[in-house]
């Protein structure tokens, strides 16, 4: 969406603060021995407490309040009573919600307990690249140039990007124009970021794989060559200077 007035700005700020808070609390709550279903139920209760609606549930009938992906799962993991978190697991939590017709989205990868499998370097790379990408987004900048930046920075750190997952426009819908804000450069894409547009920018930084493949459950995505992926996502408003990060309160850069 394009922010055109104060009420739209306030609407986006309110729903974004809610999803940011829920993501932060879910990351803090996650621990060894907890099932992903229990973690999701905790997140669902938090969403309800702040009066917002789970976006994946509302928009797509997703079987959970939030998406929780563990280890080799990239995204859209279904919360389950049979999936028990263990020390050292790589977890991705994606929280999105709707409030009064406004939608916001954020996500982050982190480690459960101790970093016994050495995932922190990958997570740090995703955080750093996400932050750098956001800092370089302004009105008039080519969308493909941000994709090139993300891919270049990933390669500099010895990683790859997932090429068929992307950021997206957001605001009046969970996914809207501009679609496919890719993590790599598409030379044919001449689109530019528009001032006052709202987008969900996200990194998908990978150890091995370059494409995500949907599993038989119809939701969960796993890399085509295995390995691990870290994702970080913020909802932002594009300006002619530094973007306004609406979900900054999730503290994923802290």
Annotated binding-site residue numbers: 76, 94, 105, 168, 175, 202, 233
Beta-bridged to residue 97, according to DSSP, are 54, 104
- Dihedrals φ, ψ of 87, to 5°? -55, 130
Beta-bridged to residue 111, according to DSSP, are 90
Distance between CA atoms of 21 and 66, rounded to whole angstroms? 13
Question: Using H for helix, E for strand and C for coil, what is the string for 74-104?
Answer: EECCCCCCCCECCCCCEEEEEEEEEECCEEE
CA 179 to chain centre: 15
Lookup: tokens for 174: 């969970």
Cβ 231 vs Cβ 91: under 8 Å: no
* Helix 120-135, helix 143-156: angle, nearest 10: 150
Distance between CA atoms of 4 and 2, rounded to whole angstroms? 6
Binding-site sequence positions for substrate: 76, 175
- Dihedrals φ, ψ of 69, to 5°? -115, 135
Segments of the chain assigned E as strands: 53-54, 67-70, 73-75, 90-99, 102-111, 160-161, 166-169, 176-182, 198-206, 212-214, 221-223, 229-237, 244-245
Binding-site sequence positions for a divalent metal cation: 94, 105, 168, 202, 233
């Amino acid at each position: 969406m394009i922010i055109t007035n104060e009420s739209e700005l306030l609407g986006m700020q309110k729903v974004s603060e809610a999803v940011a808070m829920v993501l932060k609390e879910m990351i803090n709550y996650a621990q060894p021995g907890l099932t992903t279903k229990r973690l999701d139920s905790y997140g669902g209760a938090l969403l309800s407490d702040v009066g917002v609606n789970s976006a994946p549930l509302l928009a797509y009938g997703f079987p959970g309040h939030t998406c929780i992906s563990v280890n080799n799962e990239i995204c859209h993991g279904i919360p389950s009573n049979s999936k028990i978190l263990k020390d050292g697991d790589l977890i991705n939590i994606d929280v999105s919600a709707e409030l009064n017709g406004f939608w916001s989205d954020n996500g982050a990868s982190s480690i459960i307990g101790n970093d016994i499998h050495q995932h922190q370097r990958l997570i740090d790379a995703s955080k750093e690249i996400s932050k750098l990408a956001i800092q370089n987004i302004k009105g008039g900048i080519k969308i493909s140039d941000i994709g090139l930046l993300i891919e270049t920075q990933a390669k500099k750190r010895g990683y790859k990007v997932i090429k068929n997952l992307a950021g997206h426009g957001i605001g009046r819908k969970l996914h809207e124009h501009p679609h496919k804000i890719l993590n790599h450069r598409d030379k044919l894409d001449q689109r530019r970021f528009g001032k006052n547009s709202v987008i969900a920018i996200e990194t998908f930084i990978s150890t091995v794989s370059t494409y995500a493949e949907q599993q038989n459950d119809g939701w969960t995505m796993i890399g085509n060559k295995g390995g691990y992926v870290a994702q970080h996502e913020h909802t932002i408003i594009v300006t002619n200077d530094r973007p306004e990060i609406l979900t900054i309160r999730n503290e994923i850069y802290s």
